[in-house]
Structure 1
Amino acid sequence: MSIKDIIQQENQEFYTAEFLQVKNWMTPNPYCIRLGQTLRAAGEMMEQLKIDSLPVIDDNDQLIGLLTLKKLFSYFLHGKENVKLIHCIKRNVKAVRPTDSILSTAPLPYEQLLVVDECKKVVGILSLRDMMDAYCKLVHRLQQKENTADVLRAILESAYEGIAVVDQYGVLLEFNEAYSRFTGIQRADAIGRHVAEVIDNTHLHITVKTGIPERGVIQNIQGQDMVVHRIPIWNEGKVTGAIGMLIFEGVSEVYKIYETLHKGHVRGKKRQSFSLKQEDSRMTLDQIIGVSEEISKVKRIARKAARTTATVLITGESGTGKEMFAKSIHHLSPHSSGPFISVNCGAIPEPLFESELFGYEEGAFTGAKRGGKQGKLELAHNGTILLDEIGEMPLVMQTKLLRVLQEKEAERVGGVQKYRVNVRIIAATNRDLREMMNEGLFREDLYYRLNVIQLHVPPLRKRRKDIPILLSYYLKKLCEKYQLQEKHVTSAAVSSFIRHDWKGNIREMINTIEQLVTLVEGNIIDVHHLPEMMKEKSTALVTNNDLKDTQAISVIQEAKNIGKQKEKEMIIKVLKEAGGSKKKAAEMLGIHRTTLYQKLKKYNIR
């Protein structure tokens, strides 16, 4: 069954629900007149009961026909009041069953409908007012259902955790934005497909079959271990679907939670398993904070790059977190069991560069250490080396590094024997290497050797959606660092953080938060506490994404305005039909009188 068929089936079930059956809206046990009585008797009965029609039944209480006030009046004008009913009734009467849907009565051109059971006995009568009451309550329920769907959609899309919902066939019904960012698969492309085609190593379709929930299980998605929940959805004793949730973006989150608990229970004792150094070496992509599409895209590329041993070139402005991505790639790569060595090419004097990178033999130069010294490449054997600020590397060293990449061999300064190099190389820079190539400052052949997989980390101003999350995280972390009571930031101050351009990116932002945490006396950080540069009105250009968001908000607002206008028109129409009676109008609309008064005030209806 396709997703379209499932939706149609759900709609069909809604419209045939017991709520809409005629028996819930008809007037039960209506007054009837028996066959054989006169028109005068029927007229007196109508006059006494204040009704304009009478069902006519036989001695077995079965429906024969209907006598209307219009027909009765016609016979009275011709002096036939003593004529018996058998000659005057309308026999071709449309009747409905108690279990019929009220919606099936809409096309029928009758102001009243008789309701009969299987034995053709009259059990009720359905007036036009009864039908209107049912339709008004139906509209109200549909509005409630639509509002509930909007709320659920908002919850799904605002959740940081990935959430996927499947039906009893394993077909995806929901696939929220967080899951979409993580996998790189658009929601529109995911919904309607089998979950196994979209999510790696999923068991959601198996959860539907077994009905057994799985909590906190490990699932490998795109080469990274995740902690997930799989929860079956039960309805009337049957499993009708299942929900899958990414509780953590990676297993390292569990390590952090464990460490927090461990710290609380074993204060003052030396930790055996989770030292600060080990936490740093276990840097993973889930520890890189951000939910924006820009950073999620970089994470996806990094996961794919980590599966291989190919050389990676990470570009981006200073302070964007290039080293964090390098450590994450190392942790997820085949070299994860080996060391991670970082070399800042801009911090090593040019005469010492070769010996630092390749090492030196004893007596290689004046002041050389006895026994020689291993270089960074040797220390990184079977692991990963990060050549940070690769644009600062001297040209001579660029040539030697190129030979290492080509031959997988290196030689110490003053040495005569080469040693094998089994190292994954990751380079990072905040400079434009292409422009440096044109100026003759960077070797073209080395650039193409390094640029096998390029990873560009966007600046913070290009992913403003992540700023509130980063602010919250580092505010809490720095308060804990200085053992201060947790501080909070006002919404106006958060807005200033979002508007600021952050030329120094996350590094600048952390320094600003640290300044505020240490200098602000109270627990509330407001706009007047911020540095002067942040108080100035931002002149940054609006990005395309901002424009799209604004357009989307405009469309939603327009839809809401149309809905309000329709509601206002409907209330005015029903008020007119009710002759201005608010009590009657509230009943016809299927709402409480107080609610109607509120809506009258809201729409200024008099």
Structure 2
Amino acid sequence: MMNLRIGEIPNNWLEEIINLSAERIVVVDRDGVICYINEAYCEFLETTVDKAMRQPVLDIIENSRMHIVAKTGQAEIAAVHKIKGSEMIANRFPLIVKGELVGAVGTVMFRNPEELHMYSGKIQHLVEELKYYKTKAEKNIKSKYHFSDLLGNSTSFLAVKTLAERISGSQSAALLLGESGTGKELFASAIHNNSIRSAFPFVPINCASIPEQLLESELFGYDDGAFTGAKKGGKKGQFQIANNGTIFLDEVGDMPLAMQSKLLRVLQEKEIQPVGGQKSIPVDVRIIAATHRDLEKMVEEGKFRQDLYYRLNVIKIEIPPLRERKGDIELISIKLLEKLEAKFHRKAVGLSTEVIERLELHSWPGNIRELENVLERCINVLDGTTIEIPHLPLYLRDQGLKSKNSQAMNPIGPEKIVPLPVLPLKEALAQVEKQSILNALVVTNGNKQEAAKLLEIGKTSFYEKCKFYDVR
């Protein structure tokens, strides 16, 4: 057996490796004369290596550009090359040795027209399959939630739910107001499912999560060649996909002013104009918008268009935060646990009485989303079937201690109040700030960008505070 040193391969091995490769290879010198061509290429060209060697490349390979690349030194990648009535994919590279242009190397990806046809057939099949599933997906954009999924018996919640059911048959725009995590998308979905548009798409869009430069093309689509990198044939926008149905614009308060004017035009004219397009496309959609921001204040500050605000605010629905419906926490928790049981393959998970009391003590700045995150955390550390106090996150366990301490302040009546230890104001504020950051990170499952939004501070400021308080 031949022993080879690293990096040492015999010439006859190299030639065999080239012949076994999928590509057909030809090498020419500066004058465009063939100085190497492999057998596979010659077989395709219906010639032999002996006949092709030392011949001008144009005499052997029709429509060749190898001699041009050998002169200019400019590579031609993935070029279409017609040979023997078939369009091949060719790559042509300048051959530079020790800084000098000495010739060119060319490859062709397909051995014969039949192979090209086979590849084309496979690709075409995949393209058709993709079109089928894309069309099917567009047709099956359905809202998942109904009014029966909106749980709560508190007076404030039932009033809002009743109003939402009453206006679901309307065609007017609706504006859902409420803090993050109160279930605005669930309400929008339920309104759609209870309307005459329920057989058509429900398309939710988070205006805050789409980069400003992409928002217009995402909402209104674009035409073929509208910009560099645009998909051939263009792309449908979400308004077209939602035609005859409902489009839900979540976090509409984060929409840039330039886009607000374009959205206003859609509401007024009931038509869209794709990016790069010359023709307007009529659309029939009901718009449900939502935000946790104070739009009236934003209008006063010039950050939100007044005319758009009035267009969206035809029907206003204010969803109460979880802290104003403490009596619903147990009912919502049980429903959320059913959902989490399926996700984590658990059964019959329950809550102890102490845990329910502790949950009702908390102020829930992250609302139902925070509650779901807390319960998910509990299931992850649960060793039985009942969630107990030790399974709760530390900040909820401390909630009970704070409550006990507040009771301990006045054990014998209002005249004998025993004050808690007093900290320097700067230290006390720092503790509160750090705890608020930790709470926000729990609510957002560690997502710092979302936590910064929840605290209504900038991302840079949030990261600086995390560094200062050693929060990772």
TM (norm. structure 1) is 0.42
* Cα-Cα RMSD: 2.2
Residues 386-535 of structure 1 aligned to structure 2 (within 5 Å): 386-535=248-397
Q: How far apart in 1 are the matches of 2:378 and 2:173?
A: 40
Task: Report the CA distance between 1:522 and its aligned residue.
Answer: 2.1
Q: Which residue is 2:236 aligned to?
A: 374
Cα 1:387–1:500 change in 2 (3 A) is: same
Residues 571-590 of structure 1 aligned to structure 2 (within 5 Å): none
Q: Deviations over 1:203-226 (max 9, x none)?
A: xxxxxxxxxxxxxxxxxxxxxxxx
Q: How far apart in 2 are the matches of 1:487 and 1:329?
A: 31
Unaligned runs of 5+ in 2: 1-136, 404-472
Residues 156-555 of structure 1 aligned to structure 2 (within 5 Å): 281-537=143-399
Cα 1:467–1:332 change in 2 (3 A) is: same
Q: Which amino acid aligns with 1:307?
A: G
Q: Deviations over 1:579-599 (max 9, x none)?
A: xxxxxxxxxxxxxxxxxxxxx
Q: Which amino acid aligns with 2:257?
A: L
Q: How far apart in 1 are the matches of 2:402 and 2:273?
A: 51
Q: Which amino acid aligns with 1:534?
A: L
Task: Report the CA distance between 1:487 and its aligned residue.
Answer: 2.4
Q: Deviations over 1:37-73 (max 9, x none)?
A: xxxxxxxxxxxxxxxxxxxxxxxxxxxxxxxxxxxxx
Q: Deviations over 1:545-594 (max 9, x none)?
A: xxxxxxxxxxxxxxxxxxxxxxxxxxxxxxxxxxxxxxxxxxxxxxxxxx
Q: How far apart in 1 are the matches of 2:142 and 2:180?
A: 20
Q: What secondary structure is seen at the aligned counterpart in 1 of 2:390?
A: helix
Higher relative contact order (CA 8 A, sep 6+): 2
Task: Report the CA distance between 1:518 and its aligned residue.
Answer: 1.5
Q: Which amino acid aligns with 1:536?
A: D
Unaligned runs of 5+ in 1: 1-274, 542-606
Q: Deviations over 1:382-419 (max 9, x none)?
A: 00000111011110010011111111111111111111
Q: How far apart in 2 are the matches of 1:396 and 1:522?
A: 54
Is this contact kept in 2: 1:309–1:334, CA < 8 A?
no
Moved over 6 A (4+): 277-280, 538-541
Cα 1:360–1:456 change in 2 (3 A) is: same
Q: What secondary structure is seen at the aligned counterpart in 1 of 2:376?
A: helix
Q: How far apart in 1 are the matches of 2:273 and 2:142?
A: 30
Q: Which amino acid aligns with 2:226?
A: A
Cα 1:330–1:460 change in 2 (3 A) is: same
Q: How far apart in 1 are the matches of 2:284 and 2:254?
A: 24
Q: How far apart in 1 are the matches of 2:346 and 2:387?
A: 14
Q: How far apart in 2 are the matches of 1:507 and 1:386?
A: 19
Task: Report the CA distance between 1:532 and its aligned residue.
Answer: 1.8
Q: How far apart in 2 are the matches of 1:421 and 1:480?
A: 39
Q: Which amino acid aligns with 2:146?
A: T
Q: What secondary structure is seen at the aligned counterpart in 2 of 1:366?
A: coil
Q: How far apart in 1 are the matches of 2:181 and 2:220?
A: 28
Q: How far apart in 2 are the matches of 1:299 and 1:490?
A: 29
Task: Report the CA distance between 1:538 and its aligned residue.
Answer: 6.8
Q: Deviations over 1:328-378 (max 9, x none)?
A: 111111211110111110111111111111111101111111111111111
Is this contact kept in 2: 1:501–1:540, CA < 8 A?
no
Residues 115-126 of structure 1 aligned to structure 2 (within 5 Å): none
Cα 1:282–1:522 change in 2 (3 A) is: closer
Q: What secondary structure is seen at the aligned counterpart in 2 of 1:341?
A: strand
Cα 1:279–1:461 change in 2 (3 A) is: farther
Task: Report the CA distance between 1:280 and its aligned residue.
Answer: 6.5
TM (norm. structure 2) is 0.54
Q: Which amino acid aligns with 2:368?
A: I
Q: Which amino acid aligns with 1:501?
A: S
Cα 1:284–1:514 change in 2 (3 A) is: same
Q: How far apart in 2 are the matches of 1:511 and 1:537?
A: 17
Q: How far apart in 1 are the matches of 2:254 and 2:142?
A: 26
Q: Which residue is 1:207 aligned to?
A: none
Q: Deviations over 1:72-95 (max 9, x none)?
A: xxxxxxxxxxxxxxxxxxxxxxxx
Cα 1:485–1:422 change in 2 (3 A) is: closer
Q: What secondary structure is seen at the aligned counterpart in 1 of 2:151?
A: coil
Cα 1:413–1:477 change in 2 (3 A) is: closer
Q: What secondary structure is seen at the aligned counterpart in 1 of 2:208?
A: coil
Is this contact kept in 1: 2:271–2:280, CA < 8 A?
yes
Cα 1:314–1:516 change in 2 (3 A) is: same
Is this contact kept in 1: 2:377–2:392, CA < 8 A?
no
Cα 1:480–1:358 change in 2 (3 A) is: closer
Task: Report the CA distance between 1:530 and its aligned residue.
Answer: 1.7
Task: Report the CA distance between 1:315 and its aligned residue.
Answer: 0.8
Q: Which amino acid aligns with 1:326?
A: A
Identity of aligned residues (%): 47
Q: Which amino acid aligns with 1:394?
A: P
Cα 1:487–1:460 change in 2 (3 A) is: same
Greater Rg, structure 1 or structure 2? 1
